[in-house]
Amino acid sequence: MKRWLLLAVLVVAITTTATLAVQYFPTDSWLSVDGKYPAPATSSGPQPLAVVEGDLTYHFGMAAQQATIEKDWVIRNEGEADLILTKGPPACSCTIADFENGKDTITLKPGQKTTHHLAFHTNENNGTYRKSATIATNDPLHPTLEFFGEGTVRPSVMLYPPESTINYLEISNDVSDHKAGVALYSPDRPDLKITQLISSKPGKMLVSQEPMTPEDCKALGIEKGYRITINVTSAMPLGSFREEAIIKIDHPKQPEVKLMVAGKMVGPISATPDRIRLVGVDNHIGAKGELRLTVRGLRATTFEVRSKPDKFDVEIVPTDPSSQGGQYRLIVTIPPGLPPKTILDDIVLKTDHPQAEELRIPIDVLIRQ
């Protein structure tokens, strides 16, 4: 019986030892000894010692999108045995690592050194950036060396506020000027130059520039920039508008910035409702739609159709022919036979009103078969 008890204790002890051995056996295949990665050096005898000159993290500050940030690190072998360095798998496609021999593995004799080159691609990142690359070594004190690129990535050219649309909502042509401004600057090229300003509505929407003040630059944490001013004048046609301001610049990665300018200009002539909307028009039958035009003070006004969707018929008639004027019906006729499609366009009316040279009526039509 004693002998069986001793045997059972021995079996339990052997099982416990085997379990501990399995628990502490290296399981990381990235450092496995399979001929691809260097085997850790034994604890006895001469050992290699990997020493990196400088900080393993490169703090590059601010960089633009689609830029490449490069950094070299010098690695020395200050040990007494050969140091084997092997590139690890890249953390992402935005990090590229190279040894000076162009291979994935390099061996340094005691006292030798090598240059490890890293390239970090910012791509479309926007905000905090931190990417890494790892090297495996046979140095028992430093089995891996991890190198980082860290900083902030921003678009090549930035706007503040960051929205690319200026929305005036509703403005009146009783006021001659309606101004709005944005800041424009480049994180990586503070001496950015504006080469041209283009307005899609010359004479009615004005675009201008001026350097930002030191106080404004300090508030945004930048060196230099421009203030872009959009001025929608009272000459803008009545009705909804959606125009574009194009800012040409000398940045090699972004030659221009586009600003959308939208809103509604109101004045002495109003449309109720503010657009013609016809959905589900049978192309075999056609359709009609209409709205009311009201002139402030019921002033008699003459209208002329300046532009309209092709094939559409637009007619403007007094609401009450016996009255002095000031109220009109705008009637749109869609003829049969048009192909199925969606039409998003404007009807532009020319008037003889001194405060309303043009009136723009949006039209939204869906023609089905």
Considering the domain delimited by 158-266, tell me its CATH architecture. Answer: Sandwich (2.60)
Q: Which amino acid is at 3?
A: R
Residue 32 has pLDDT above 80, yes or no: no
- CB atoms inside a 10 Å sphere around CB 211: 11
Of residues 6 and 312, more confidently modeled: 312
What does the pLDDT look like over 242-300, one tens digit per residue? 999 999 999 988 899 999 999 999 999 999 999 999 999 999 999 999 999 999 999 99
Provide φ and ψ at 217, rounded to 5°.
-65, -40
What does the pLDDT look like over 166-200, one tens digit per residue? 999 999 999 999 999 999 999 888 999 999 999 99
Token duo for residue 135: 């090297």
Quick one: how far is CA 54 from the chain centroid? 34
Three-state secondary-structure class, residue 7: helix
Mean pLDDT of the 324-328 span: 89
Phi-psi bin for 284: left (phi > 0), alpha (psi -120 to 50), beta?
alpha
Of residues 103 and 255, more confidently modeled: 255
DSSP classification of residue 340: S
Contact criterion met (CB below 8 Å) for 140 and 111:
no
How far is Cα 54 from Cα 116, in angstroms, rounded to an integer? 12
Model pLDDT, residue 234: 94
- CB atoms inside a 10 Å sphere around CB 332: 21
The percentage of residues in the chain with a pLDDT greater than 90, rounded to a whole number, is 70
What does the pLDDT look like over 337-354, one tens digit per residue? 999 999 999 999 999 999
Mean pLDDT of the 80-102 span: 83
Residue 26 has pLDDT above 60, yes or no: no
Region 30-154: CATH code: 2.60.40.10
The answer to whether the 30-154 and 269-368 domains have the same CATH topology is yes
Mean pLDDT of the 84-113 span: 85
How far is Cα 346 from Cα 367, in angstroms, rounded to an integer? 16
Beta-carbon contacts of 63 under 8 Å, excluding residues fewer than 6 positions away, are 69, 122, 129, 151, 152, 153, 154, 187, 188
Residue 83 has pLDDT above 90, yes or no: yes
What does the pLDDT look like over 121-160, one tens digit per residue? 888 888 899 999 999 999 999 999 999 999 988 888 999 9
DSSP classification of residue 217: H
Q: Would you kindly state where each structural domain of the chain is located, as residue ranges?
A: 30-154, 158-266, 269-368
Mean pLDDT across the chain: 86
What separation in angstroms does the CA of 295 have from each of 319, 350, 353?
Answer: 12, 14, 9
Of residues 129 and 4, more confidently modeled: 129
Model pLDDT, residue 42: 53
269-368: CATH topology: Immunoglobulin-like (2.60.40)
The mean-pLDDT minimum among 114-123, 231-240, 272-281 falls in: 114-123
Model pLDDT, residue 315: 96
